[in-house]
Structure 1
Amino acid sequence: MGEYAIEVSDLGVRFRRNRRGRRSIKAMFASASRRTPKGEFWALRNISFDVKPGDAIGVVGRNGQGKSTLLKLVAGVLLPDEGAVTVHGGVAPLIEITGGFVGDLTVRENVRLTASLHGMSKAEVNRRYDGIIAFAELEEFQETPYKHLSNGMKVRLAFSVVSQLDEPILIVDEVLAVGDRPFREKCYRRIEQMLEEGRTLFFVSHNERDLKRFCKRGLYIREHHLVLDDDIETVIAAYNSDNARRA
């Protein structure tokens, strides 16, 4: 890995307001223009920043401003309409509870499938399987179809699989808020361990205590733009000040 783990330059992505419509080929080729076709809006625009290996970045902002979209762009789940995002190294994403899991497959089958899709060899999956199940506290549910798990169980399973990956970049959205407090604390201790190993963390949360626990640097997304890139205390203070003025 070079000087940066993540490089983001003039990043922009737009979506349709009307889900029933699809963007035409002509509209997609028009992405380079500065005009926004009717019915579309910029979820993010003019976003630029760099992340060094080992950095822990907290992303804050009101709901609907593009925080989760930014994480999906870094994870490669979405492609930008303008600008570029370059990630040096693999990504371990914990963005959506059900991401990568199949409802009709059992917990056992899903662990093996999801881990292999993330690049684990069959031997690695076999070696780590018991640890994944034990961390998720799902020993009694290994033959249960995934769709029958509670949301809390799904979070435990997702985090357990992702935390076993050796990828240098960990991306965590607010899905951990679904889990119960004891398991969430166990996840957080695992995140701290990964940071001690030199991993890079991208973390979205509305919880100030969690942001300050893990992150030294923050990004503040407001009105779909990056308005502040500073230490986490300064970023949280600016975010809270804006919210107080809006109240």
Structure 2
Amino acid sequence: MRGEKTKDDFQAVDDVSFTVEQGESIGLMGLNGSGKSTLLTLINGTMKPDEGRVLTRGRIAGLIATSAGFHPQLSGRENVFLNAAVFGLTEEETKDRFDDIAEFANIGKHMESAVGNYSSGMSSRLGFAIAINVDCDIFLADELLAVGDRPFKRKCIEKMEEVRDSGRTLFYVSHAAGSVRKMCNRVLILEEGRLVFDGDVDEGIEYLQYDSDGDDDEREDEELGADI
């Protein structure tokens, strides 16, 4: 009533346009707040753009947020079936893959506990274990290695390599130059919601000047399971 401003409009992703061919491995990079996670949710279909359109083909799976799609009051086992159904798996398909999911997640007796009591690492383990066992055409991974111990990170990298080598399209969000080099053949860089680079991996990393950051190099080694 006093004419004061009550809200701000913020374009998390602004005028971004690109085309990805089947089987490409895309490293999505940029500083925190640049719009990477928002872009993945648009590709995933969780969010709809206010303008423009996102065209995808085939089934999409992946991990774009720890605990995404989990019901906190249900057990890990129950959430496996719930989350798998969201990805389009039937109950029988989930039963067939349950042992593989449980083995990869490796959370033991906690599979029967409520997910609301899980640590972020346990939720990340279970979420990735479900997503990686879904037959998909596009796999999205939003900094999935940011949480978890070193052996789990190594397992994730190995599984991601299997996804890439299978001919599926991969979107991989990471701040670690080493793992992007290992996983991807193309880099997209966002700055304040705008696409500022689309091209060669090494050129993209040089654009971001990530190679000059010693702390980042150490994090890359840990993510890749290198002996240090």
TM-score (norm 1): 0.81
Runs of 4+ in 1 over 2 A off after TM superposition: none
- Pairwise CA RMSD of aligned residues? 1.7
Q: Equivalent of 2:114, from 145, 154, 163?
A: 145
Compare relative contact order (CA 8 Å, sep 6+) and give the higher one, 1 or 2: 2
Instruction: Give the percent of matched residue pairs that are identical in Structure 1 and Structure 2.
Output: 40
Counterparts of 2:193 and 2:89, CA distance in 1 = 36
> How do 1:1-247 and structure 2 match up within 5 A?
39-240=8-209
Q: Is the 8 A contact 2:62 2:132 kept in 1?
A: no
- TM-superposed CA distance for 1:149, in Å, is 1.4
- TM-superposed CA distance for 1:223, in Å, is 2.5
2:219 maps to what in 1? none
- TM-superposed CA distance for 1:227, in Å, is 1.0
- The count of corresponding residues between Structure 1 and Structure 2 is 208
2:223 maps to what in 1? none
Question: What is the DSSP-based 3-state SS (H/G/I as helix, E as strand, rest coil) of the residue aligned with 2:15?
Answer: strand
Unpaired segments ≥5 residues, structure 2: 214-228
Aligned amino acid, residue 121 of structure 1: T
Counterparts of 1:136 and 1:223, CA distance in 2 = 35
- TM-superposed CA distance for 1:118, in Å, is 1.2
1:4 maps to what in 2? none
Question: What is the DSSP-based 3-state SS (H/G/I as helix, E as strand, rest coil) of the residue aligned with 1:58?
Answer: strand
Q: Is the 8 A contact 2:23 2:170 kept in 1?
A: yes
Counterparts of 1:62 and 1:113, CA distance in 2 = 33
Counterparts of 1:141 and 1:169, CA distance in 2 = 30
Unpaired segments ≥5 residues, structure 1: 1-17, 22-37
Question: What is the DSSP-based 3-state SS (H/G/I as helix, E as strand, rest coil) of the residue aligned with 2:79?
Answer: helix
Higher strand share: 1
Counterparts of 1:93 and 1:136, CA distance in 2 = 15
Question: What is the DSSP-based 3-state SS (H/G/I as helix, E as strand, rest coil) of the residue aligned with 2:155?
Answer: helix
Counterparts of 2:77 and 2:107, CA distance in 1 = 10
Counterparts of 1:67 and 1:142, CA distance in 2 = 31
Q: Is the 8 A contact 2:105 2:129 kept in 1?
A: yes
Render the CA deviation track for 1:143-189: whole Å, top value 9, x for unaligned.
11111111111111000000000011000001321111110110110
Counterparts of 2:144 and 2:160, CA distance in 1 = 14
Aligned amino acid, residue 15 of structure 2: N
- TM-superposed CA distance for 1:234, in Å, is 0.6
- TM-superposed CA distance for 1:239, in Å, is 1.2
Aligned amino acid, residue 200 of structure 2: D
